[in-house]
């Protein structure tokens, strides 16, 4: 066997079968073998991380990189640097809020050029379904996007308008034919409009409780019911992004038991925060659907534990401080979006371990299942022969994980992809040269 470039050995390596002492043998950026911990293999270099956990690098399938067009919000350079620092080795980019939005092949090419210039981790792209782009979907699928995203309510930017059932029916029939997946922002306008009509005259834009009431759980559950019905009718596979309302779990579980192709993600902020704790005026917490009550959060954890929720993705969506209205604290005018790409692993592991979940659960929720959603499972999301050598050895969970991460980040500001910095006490990655040209279908 040819000489390996690197062996990463550890006492707690998270492999598909469980957690075991192992030596990961790497050549040309690919895992060639997972050997016994003490195995003598010929390698140019051996790194032993001891008791630190070694996981597959995080695959985050919900990242808004806003380049080109809104690079000052977040571009590929800053986003992928944050990803690398947080143990995220692959991102899948959302079709908004760049200009242009990724609803045409030309727009996809512009995104790919921007990413190729500076990305530090691997990347792939989602395309968009908007009113009137039905005849572009086939070309986008052929050009290598991993699936499509749509909104049922205004997205926050005019360039990416929502679709209604009348647009969705032909689009989903076509996507089913193409074998492509549809991701949906599942909130319907009806319940949001009803909530606005019953809004008390004394409602205060700074009060979190009033913002929460403006996006009720029915907006999610009614949207999901519609999408399940359309999936049943057209055969199109549906993925519900950023589920917040635990009330929708029952119908999703029933649909899955009935054989419908439906998957669901939730986000670290829904699993970490609770509405009761969010101060009035704290618009950094604004996102849609909103962060709900503590009891709802625990039901989301139960949904993850029993498999109705498939995995966790960040929904990283930064905006400049002025747009977040951090000064006025007005929820009704602030940009909705939470920037969390870099903290997703630290926050999720900390909250998961407090509830008794294992490193294997974490690897499944943050790497294996998201890789499968984006059809990257042959190369990503597992520590197994044939997969890319994307590894992360995060620091142990703790309540101040986020603060400690920020401090470690300042010390490691020059992190580059391709570096091998697998050492306990620091989030580090061993990844090969970033790649992510849209992958063409055979």
Q: Which residues bind Zn ion (CB under 5 A)?
A: 315
Beta carbon nearer to Zn ion, 315 or 342 = 315
Distance, CA of 349 to CA of 27 (rounded, Å): 29
Token readout for 391 is: 């590894």
Distance, CA of 258 to CA of 125 (rounded, Å): 30
Token readout for 353 is: 């371990």
Q: How far is the CB of 399 from Zn ion (least distance, A)?
A: 27
All residues at 6 or more sequence positions from 113 whose CB lies less than 8 Å from its CB, including other chains = none
Beta carbon nearer to Zn ion, 187 or 315 = 315
Q: How far is the CB of 94 from Zn ion (least distance, A)?
A: 5
Beta carbon nearer to Zn ion, 263 or 431 = 263
Token readout for 397 is: 């969970």
DSSP 8-state assignment for residue 134? G
Q: How far is the CB of 155 from Zn ion (least distance, A)?
A: 9
The residue with tokens 């920020």 is 406
Q: How far is the CB of 73 from Zn ion (least distance, A)?
A: 13
Beta carbon nearer to Zn ion, 234 or 340 = 340
Residue 17: exposed, middle, or buried by beta-carbon count in 10 A (0-12, 13-18, 19+)?
exposed
Q: How far is the CB of 62 from Zn ion (least distance, A)?
A: 6
Residue 256: exposed, middle, or buried by beta-carbon count in 10 A (0-12, 13-18, 19+)?
middle
All residues at 6 or more sequence positions from 268 whose CB lies less than 8 Å from its CB, including other chains = 312, 314, 340, 343, 344, 347, 348, 351
Distance, CA of 366 to CA of 55 (rounded, Å): 10
Residue 178: exposed, middle, or buried by beta-carbon count in 10 A (0-12, 13-18, 19+)?
middle
For residue 197, the SS3 value is: helix
Beta carbon nearer to Zn ion, 47 or 96 = 96
Q: How far is the CB of 315 from Zn ion (least distance, A)?
A: 4
Side-chain half-sphere CA neighbours of 136 within 13 A: 16
Beta carbon nearer to Zn ion, 43 or 313 = 313
Q: How far is the CB of 317 from Zn ion (least distance, A)?
A: 5
* Residue with the shortest CB distance to Zn ion: 315
Q: How far is the CB of 101 from Zn ion (least distance, A)?
A: 13
Pairing of strands 238-240, 182-185: parallel
Q: Tell me if 136 sits within 8 A of 104, measured CB to CB.
A: yes
Q: Tell me if 196 sits within 8 A of 210, measured CB to CB.
A: no
For residue 308, the SS3 value is: coil
Beta carbon nearer to Zn ion, 75 or 394 = 75
Beta carbon nearer to Zn ion, 94 or 383 = 94
Q: How far is the CB of 18 from Zn ion (least distance, A)?
A: 33
Beta carbon nearer to Zn ion, 61 or 89 = 61
Q: How far is the CB of 335 from Zn ion (least distance, A)?
A: 12
Count of Cβ atoms closer than 10 Å to residue 266 Cβ: 25
Distances 230 to 141, 166, 242, 266, 435 between C-alpha atoms, Å: 20, 11, 19, 22, 35
**Nearest to 164, CA basis, from 219, 226, 221, 216:** 226
Beta carbon nearer to Zn ion, 67 or 315 = 315
């Amino acid at each position: 066997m040819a000489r390996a470039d690197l062996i990463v050995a550890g006492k707690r390596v998270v492999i598909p079968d469980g957690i075991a002492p192992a030596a990961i043998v790497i050549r040309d950026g690919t895992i060639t073998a997972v050997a016994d911990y003490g195995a003598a293999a010929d390698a140019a270099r051996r790194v032993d991380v001891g008791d630190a956990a070694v996981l597959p690098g995080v695959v985050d399938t919900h990242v808004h990189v806003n380049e080109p067009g809104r690079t000052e919000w977040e571009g590929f350079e800053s986003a992928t640097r944050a990803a690398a620092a947080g143990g995220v080795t692959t991102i899948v980019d959302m079709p908004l809020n760049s200009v242009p939005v990724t609803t045409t092949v030309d727009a996809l090419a512009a995104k790919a050029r921007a990413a190729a210039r500076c990305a530090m981790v691997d990347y792939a792209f989602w395309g968009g379904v908007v009113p009137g782009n039905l005849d572009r979907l086939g070309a986008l699928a052929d050009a290598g996007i991993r699936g499509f995203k749509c909104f049922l309510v205004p997205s926050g930017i005019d360039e990416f308008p929502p679709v209604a059932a009348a647009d969705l029916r032909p689009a989903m029939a076509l996507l089913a034919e193409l074998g492509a997946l549809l991701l949906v922002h599942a909130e319907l306008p009806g319940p949001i409009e009803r909530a606005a009509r019953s809004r008390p005259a004394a409602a205060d834009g700074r009060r979190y409780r009033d913002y929460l009431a403006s996006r009720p759980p029915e907006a999610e559950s009614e949207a999901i019911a519609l999408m399940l019905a359309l999936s049943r009718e057209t055969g199109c596979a549906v993925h519900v992004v950023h589920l917040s309302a635990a009330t929708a779990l029952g119908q999703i579980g029933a649909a899955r038991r009935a054989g419908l192709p439906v998957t669901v993600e939730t986000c670290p902020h829904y699993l970490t925060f609770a509405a009761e704790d969010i101060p009035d005026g704290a618009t950094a917490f604004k996102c849609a659907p909103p962060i709900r009550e503590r009891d709802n959060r625990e039901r989301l954890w139960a949904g993850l534990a029993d498999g109705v929720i498939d995995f966790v993705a960040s929904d990283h969506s930064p905006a400049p401080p002025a747009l977040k209205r951090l000064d006025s604290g007005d929820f009704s005018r602030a940009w909705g979006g939470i920037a969390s790409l870099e903290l997703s692993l630290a926050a999720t592991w900390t909250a998961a371990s407090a509830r008794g979940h294992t490193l294997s659960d974490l690897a499944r929720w943050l790497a294996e299942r998201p890789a499968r959603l984006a059809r990257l499972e042959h190369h990503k999301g597992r520590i197994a022969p044939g997969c890319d050598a994307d590894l992360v050895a995060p620091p142990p969970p703790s309540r101040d994980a986020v603060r400690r991460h920020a401090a470690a980040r300042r010390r490691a500001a020059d992190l580059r992809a391709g570096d091998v910095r697998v050492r306990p006490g620091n989030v580090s990655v061993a990844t090969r040269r970033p790649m992510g040209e849209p992958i063409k279908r055979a």
